[in-house]
Amino acid sequence: WFDSHAFEPVTSEMFLADLRKKLIGDDAELEKRLMLDAWVYGTGLPENAWKPDSKAFAEVDSAVAAYANVGTLPDIEVWRDWTAAEQRRFLEELPQDLSNEQLAALNATLELSQTGNNEVLFLWLEVALRNEYGPAVQQAERFLAKVGRNKFVSPLFTALNETEWGKPIAQRIYAETRSSYHAYTRGNVDKTLLFKTSAGTALSD
């Protein structure tokens, strides 16, 4: 679809016509089952929408409870078997306040700083920086120099800016990385950090 319609104006009608010609053909049963018009023109989710399993995160939630109550972390093999969504769920549900010892154990056990998934790495860095965990600063600096997505950049600078420990770190890193970010992201972080240009002008307004 993208190759054959590159740089062309497209309407919903054009897309559906192409889909029916190349995918559905004369298969009336497939047309009925896909409910294309309902997806494109209808309101709400059509009846054939996939329904998530409410128990899908039960194991993860049990692991979160075990950690919150008695400090037990999932085994590394269990962690590796979890999907990225399950790993993210675990990190998102962690207690807000964690000690350096807890963060060190968390990282050592689950190998969080070694993950190749930016979504998981971001959540690890966010909780680490929010709790003033010094060993995470260098990795956060590399991460913020490499990624530019506002969903990663703004929350990490916000986490740093929430503590007196993190404020100067945020200012230093941002001074080095600001020029690499999209204007939208720069605007958000400028306001968060009350960042000043080299001329001393605040960029918060």
Backbone angles phi, psi at 57, to 5 degrees: -105, 15
- Residue ranges of domains in the chain: 1-51, 58-193
Mean pLDDT of the 79-88 span: 95
Interval 137-193: pLDDT, tens: 999 999 999 999 999 999 999 999 999 999 999 999 999 999 999 999 999 999 999
How is the chain split among helix, strand and coil, in percent rounded to 5? 65, 0, 35
- The closest alpha carbon to 136, from 110, 105, 164, 103, belongs to 103
Instruction: Give the CATH number of domain 58-193.
Output: 1.25.40.320
Backbone angles phi, psi at 95, to 5 degrees: -55, 145
* Global pTM value: 0.74
